[in-house]
Structures are given as C-alpha cells and as structure tokens.
Amino acid sequence: MTVMAPILAPTGIDCAPVLRERGQREVFCGLTGIIWLHRKIQDAFFLVVGSRTCAHLLQSAAGVMVFAEPRFGTAIIEERDLAGMVDCNEELDRVVDRLLARRPDIKLLFLVGSCPSEVIKLDLSRAGQRLSLKHAGRTKILNYSGSGIETTFTEGEDACLAALVPDLAASAPGAAPELMIVGALPDVVEDQFLRIFAQLGTTTVRSLPARRAGDMPPVGSNTRFLLAQPFLGETARALEDRGAVRLDAMFPFGAEGTTNWLHAAAVAFGIDEMHFRSVIAPGRERAKRAIEHCRTKLAGKSIFFMPDSQLEVPLARFLAQELGMVPLEVGTPYLHRRHLAQDLALLPRETVISEGQDVDKQLDRVRAAKPDLTVCGLGLANPLESEGLTTKWAIELVFSPIHGFDQAGDLAELFARPLRRRDVLKV
C-alpha cells in the first residue's frame, strides 16, 4: 500500500475575484431536475403547474423517458384558467384527484411551480396543504418552485429536497450521531458509498432523498450531513435550521475528492485513521489506475466551463489536480463559496471564476481563448464545434454516474472522449 500524504483541509476560504455577469443566459430552468428526481424517488409524482412551454421543455429534456409513462406531467394552464372562467384552485384539485385516483401507487406528490404559475400568483403551498388534508393517509403533497425565474437547472433539485426537509421526522432526543448523504445519486453510486461507510464502521447512514417516500431519514442535532452535490445551498440551510451539522469537504469526484469527502465523515465519527486508510485504499488505487490512461490525453490541455449545473468548480478541481488540465475560466450559475471552499482552494491561481452569464460576451471570451475543450450546453455545442472548437456537453455530467472512486475513470473519459474523437476523424 502506498503511503498517503496527510489529508489537509485547505484553509484559504477566499479565491480570486469573481467575474459577475448579467445578461442573456443560456441555461435550463429548475424543472429539468424532475428528469432524474422522478427516477430516484420511486413512489413520487411531479406535477408541474405551467404552460405548454413547460411541457415542451420536459419532453425535450426527457427524450425517450416520456414514452415509458413516467411519474411526471404538466397541468397546462389554459385561457379559461387565466380569464377567470374557472377557478385555478378548483381546476388543480380536479387534476390532482384524477391523477391520484388513477395512480394509487403515488405516495408523494410534488406540485412544482413554474414561471407562469408564479407570475399569476397561484399559491401552490396552500393548494398543497389543502390537498394533503384531502388525501391524508395515502398521499403526501408538497410543493417547490422549479421556475426559471427562481431556479437554474440543478437548483430544481435543491428546491425539491429543501421542501422535503421540514417534513422529515425529528430524531429521538439523545439519539446517537447519524450520517446523512444529501443529494440524489445514481443507485449504483449510492450503494458503493454505503458499502464503504459500512466498512468504516460509521453507525447509521441515510440518504436524502431516499428511494421511497416512506423511508426519508429523520433529522436533528445528532445529524451530520455530507453534501454529495455542490448545488444544495437551500437544502443545507434547511437541514442546519433543524440542528443538523454539515461536514465540510471537497466534493467526491476522482480519487482525491472522494478520499477527502469520506475522510470528513471518518473524522466526524471518530474513525481510526489507519483503519480509514486501509478501508479506502483499494478503491482509491482503482480510481487512480482508472484515470491514469486519460491523463496522457488530458494533461496540459486547456478547458473552459460555461455555466450550467454548479458542478463546474469541483469538476475543474478534479481535472486540474488529478489530470493536469488547465482551467482557463470556470463559469457557474451560482457560486456557493462556503460549500466550495476546499475545491476552490485547489484551483490554479490563474483560473478565472465567473458567476452568472452574458452568453454572447462569454462566447467572445471562448473564441479568444481557443481552449482545447469547452464544456457547454447542447444549445451551444454544435455551433462551437462548427467553428472548430471541441466541446463536451455539460448535461451528461448531471445524468451520468460520476461520483466516487469507481466512477473516476468514467468521469475522466467523458472529457477525454471528445478530444480522442477529434483526433481519430479523418473527414
């Protein structure tokens, strides 16, 4: 076993000055989070109250999932609802009653706010309370906003989980410390983490969200939580309001990120350092081996992140620290400095951090910088490719298993593949 350097928590909370921009933003709204959340919570249904645009967005983003009768839908607001010919709340009750009558398997219903529903000031929280009473004992009804005016892409998951928190059971007084992993992870990744924690000997480990509405974890002052995703600011605050304590760590990407993240829990639960190292050694070694073959491809290559999901900072850290890439600009829709402190501290000094977007100005910077790889959304990827730049489309980073030791190789490969393709094509 190789001797590991001591794991130091970086102290530099402050990073380089951040470039803040306002203007046209080429990003998804929070409704998009439904696409993976509805797969994660198996007995939940997500009902968007919105317009045809919302339904159109969901089907464009969900692609083929729509055809499997997914657990989401849109209650499309019509002229009649706006003209006051019918009462919006009565209409909503009618839609919900019909939906629940047909889907008795639904234990948790989210009423998801959209731009139109918020502009017409349709109070979904009151509707949720009213309907919860009506369907008490069978279906719990919660609400959150996934609208573009409130949320950007992954912030939809944040809003959804934050809506779950007040509803969580309270831990028993004086209960032993428990660990909570916060953020929807693919099942396979979640299982890997649970196995490692079991080997480490941390007592109870729960996930938020759980896979079923009835299995949501309790919360209290004995709760220690690790954020698995960097976009969960509201959820973290809601958990802290209920007495839970956040364990500060890097995000679990690559060998280093995952080690640091696991270590934060190990320290908090008083796990013996030698035991910790021996438990994680095999996974850590596998991760390092798996990313090694991408390093030759990626080392020294420059990368430019356009804002999308808030995963940009920890991913740039992984690519810079573990693969030797050079991040030129790391754009993020929102920068949570406290949660990202450890990842930020490991970014090269020269890296520009930008928050928000003025898309045309940012594209000017991309063209001027000519990065080897540009991470951007699907609305920009082909246009940039046709200008001769190589791109990696960002959404895949949210939809693929990328966390933890055993996905480190896959994660590196996601960035290496577009460059390899660029080199093999002779057309």
Partner 1 sequence: MQLTVWTYEGPPHVGAMRIATAMEGVHYVLHAPQGDTYADLLFTMIERRGKRPPVTYTTFQARDLGKDTAELFQSAARDAFERFKPQAMLVGASCTAELIQDDPSGLAEAMRLPIPVVALELPSYQRKENWGAAETFYQLVRKLADKDLRAAPREGRRPSVNLLGPTALGFRHRDDVVEISRLLGTLGIDINVTAPLGASPADLARLGAADFNICLYPEIADTACRWLEKTFGQKTVHTIPIGHGATRDFIAEVAALAGVDAAAALDDSRLPWWSRSVDSTYLTAKRVFIFGDATHAVAAARVARDELGFEVVGLGCYNREFARDIREAAKLYGLEPLITDDYLEVEDAIAKLQPELVLGTQMERHIAKRLRIPCAVISAPVHVQDFPARYSPQMGFEGANVLFDTWVHPLVMGLEEHLLTMFRDDFEFSDSAGASHLGHGSAPAPTRHPGPVPGSTAPQAPSAQPEEWTPEQVRGDVAVVATGWSPEAERELLKIPFFVRGKARRNTERYAAEQGIAAITLDTLYDAKAHYAR
Q: Which residues bind partner 1 (CB under 8 A)?
A: 23-32, 49, 51-53, 55-57, 59-61, 66-79, 81-82, 88, 91-92, 94-95, 98-99, 101-103, 105, 115-116, 118-120, 147-150, 152, 360, 377-383, 385-386
Indicate the helix (H) or strand (E) that contains 204: strand 204-208
Closer CB to partner 1, 251 or 304, in the complex? 304
Closer CB to partner 1, 111 or 262, in the complex? 111
Nearest approach, Cβ of residue 50 and partner 1 (Å): 8
Closer CB to partner 1, 153 or 261, in the complex? 153
- Rounded Cα distance between 219 and 237, Å, is 13
Nearest approach, Cβ of residue 166 and partner 1 (Å): 22
Nearest approach, Cβ of residue 56 and partner 1 (Å): 4
Q: Is the dihedral of CA 397, 403, 407, 411 positive or negative?
A: positive
115 is in an annotated binding site: yes
Closer CB to partner 1, 27 or 161, in the complex? 27
Q: List the Cα angle 365/366/367 in 5-degree steps.
A: 90
- Rounded Cα distance between 73 and 14, Å, is 43
Residue 381 near residue 401 (C-beta atoms within 8 A): no
Torsion angle (degrees, nearest 10) of CA 317, 321, 326, 328 = 20
Closer CB to partner 1, 93 or 240, in the complex? 93
Amino acid letter, 201: G
160 is in an annotated binding site: no
Closer CB to partner 1, 50 or 252, in the complex? 50
- Rounded Cα distance between 158 and 187, Å, is 19
Q: Say how many Å lie between the first and final Cα of the chain, rounded.
A: 47
Closer CB to partner 1, 200 or 389, in the complex? 389
Of 53, 264, 231, 66, which Cα lies nearest the Cα of 159? 231
Nearest approach, Cβ of residue 47 and partner 1 (Å): 8
- Rounded Cα distance between 93 and 88, Å, is 9
Q: Tell me the CA distances in angstroms from 88 to 49, 126, 142, 318, one per residue in order.
A: 10, 12, 18, 48
Nearest approach, Cβ of residue 406 and partner 1 (Å): 24
Q: Tell me the CA distances in angstroms from 96 to 73, 80, 118, 424, 427, one per residue in order.
A: 11, 18, 19, 53, 54
Nearest approach, Cβ of residue 199 and partner 1 (Å): 32
15 is in an annotated binding site: no
Nearest approach, Cβ of residue 40 and partner 1 (Å): 14
Nearest approach, Cβ of residue 14 and partner 1 (Å): 25
Closer CB to partner 1, 38 or 403, in the complex? 38
Q: List, in sequence order, every beta strand (DSSP E) within 31-160.
A: 44-50, 72-76, 108-113, 140-145
Q: 382 burial class (0-12, 13-18, 19+ CB within 10 angstroms)?
A: exposed
Closer CB to partner 1, 282 or 383, in the complex? 383
Spatial neighbors of 411 by CB under 8 A, at least 6 apart, are 253, 254, 291, 315, 318, 402
CB atoms within 10 A of CB 186: 18
Nearest approach, Cβ of residue 373 and partner 1 (Å): 18
- Rounded Cα distance between 246 and 226, Å, is 6
Binding-site residue set for [4Fe-4S] cluster = 29, 54, 115
Binding-site residue set = 29, 54, 115
